[in-house]
Amino acid sequence: MSRLEVRDLVVGYDAADVLRSVSLDVPDGSLLAIVGPSGCGKTTLLRTIAGLVRARAGEIRIGTRMVTTHGIHLAPEKRRIGWVPQDAALFPHLTVAENIAFGLPSARGSAKSARRAATRDDVQRLLALVGLGALGDRLPAQLSGGQAQRVALARALASAPDVVLLDEPFGALDPILRADLRGSVRELLREAGVTGILVTHDQAEALSIADLVGVMRGGELLQLDTPEQVYRRPATPWVAGFVGDAVFLPGTWHGDEVACALGRLPADWVPDDAATASPLEAPVDGASVAVLVRPEELALSPLAADAEAQAVGGPAAVVTGVSYTGHDAMLTVVAGDLRLEARVTAAGLLPVGTRVAVRVTGRVLAYPARA
């Protein structure tokens, strides 16, 4: 178990840099999930930490060991890092137990040694840990996708790594298996006490299983925070839209309130560069801002007439669409030029055509308005 620190990492394959000064810190035994659009550099980050790609600049430290810095590039096999790829990548001619034994340092990457080691207690313990105690003699072709991923995790843990890197480990699985496996992988990593980085395309997955979430775009890490902070206080409007549904309204700043189409709302200011700017640097009164409202922050109350809407204080609107998902539903609500998405529980479902008053619950966030 070890802390992982990355400082000002710059990586490129050809002329252009693919990672641009990425810094992150994953405490001992924590799981960091990295999300970001395709091509933003997630896999490159994992490959560089693993030592498979050389950095142009920056440092990587695992515990007290510096594994990458100017003039130093520790070989991948010496980094004490386990790797779980998207497709499990098991050896087809080795049994489950032999595949796991292959990861033992004593097997030294040899199939012959792995066959000999397959009956060892530590292999049996790893098999039990990933819930496959009865399947040690099976070949990979006789496993389901989820079972194969568990074997890949056990093989990665066999070397007693300080850090495990998981590159889209659930990507090829169906949604039910995926949900089931991600819960158990989180528990297994915790039990093994290993620090982990998980790359995923699934924002909900990142928010639900990780201790920390890193949001990348164009080779930069835009935010590294707890899942709650990333969702509740995104560093930029782009992050807000990437990690969840977001409505942005134009507004003006007035002290700790904004005025926008949904009325005058209590608001917190999020400066352009949340990491460095002082929170005191709020805009001047009357300055234009972009107001973030999440769909679940909109409360809808059905109305009998326009007069009632005015009494409630919010704009009168009408429900024009319903997207039902079982436990909740997304309602499209239109008020004049304003089009909003509001998330309601199944019990709060309103039919198309219902006239409603719209109210914002809680504080909203205000970002610098983009020209």
Ligand X SMILES: Nc1ncnc2c1ncn2[C@@H]1O[C@H](COP(=O)(O)OP(=O)(O)OP(=O)(O)O)[C@@H](O)[C@H]1O
Contact status: 354 vs ligand X (CB under 6 A): no
Per the CB < 8 A criterion, the answer to whether 353 and 363 are in contact is no
| Residue 14: DSSP 8-state | S
Supply the minimum distance, in Å, between the C-beta of residue 227 and ligand X: 20
Residues from 209 through 268 that contact ligand X (CB under 6 A)? none
Going by C-alpha positions, the residue among 300, 315, 235, 239 that lies closest to residue 268 is 235
Under the binding rule (CB under 6 A), the answer on residue 43 touching ligand X is yes
- Asked whether position 41 contacts ligand X by CB under 6 A, the answer is yes
Please spell the DSSP secondary structure of 154-223, one letter per residue.
Answer: HHHHHT--SEEEEESTTTTS-HHHHHHHHHHHHHHHHHHT-EEEEE-S-HHHHHHH-SEEEEEETTEEEE
Among 22, 33, 40, 258, binds ligand X (CB under 6 A): 40
Span from 36-44, 125-133, 154-162, 338-346 in contact with ligand X (CB under 6 A): 36-44
Number of residues that bind ligand X (CB under 6 A): 10
39 binding ligand X? (CB under 6 A):
yes
Work out how close the CB of 173 gets to ligand X at its nearest, in angstroms, rounded to a whole number.
Answer: 16
Does 79 interact with ligand X (rule: CB under 6 A)? no
98 φ, ψ (degrees, to nearest 5): -70, -35
Whole-number Cα distances in Å, 132 to 91, 143, 181, 266, 307: 17, 10, 13, 53, 65
User: Residue 331: which of 351, 306, 313 has the closest Cα?
Assistant: 351
Work out whether 18 is an interface residue with ligand X (CB under 6 A): yes
Stretch that binds ligand X, among 42-50, 180-188, 253-261, 278-286 (CB under 6 A): 42-50
Minimal distance, residue 349 CB to ligand X, in Å: 36
Which residue is associated with the tokens 């919010």? 314
Q: CA-to-CA distance for 101 and 125, rounded, in angstroms?
A: 11
- The sign one gets for the Cα dihedral 223, 87, 138, 95 is negative
Q: Please identify, using beta-carbon distances, which residue of 24 and 143 lies nearer to ligand X.
A: 24
CB of 18 to ligand X, least distance (A): 4
Q: Which of 4, 42, 237, 342 is in the footprint of ligand X by CB under 6 A?
A: 42
User: For residues 57 and 287, which CB has a smaller minimum distance to ligand X in the complex?
Assistant: 57
Question: Which positions lie near ligand X, rule CB under 6 A?
Answer: 13, 18, 36, 38-44
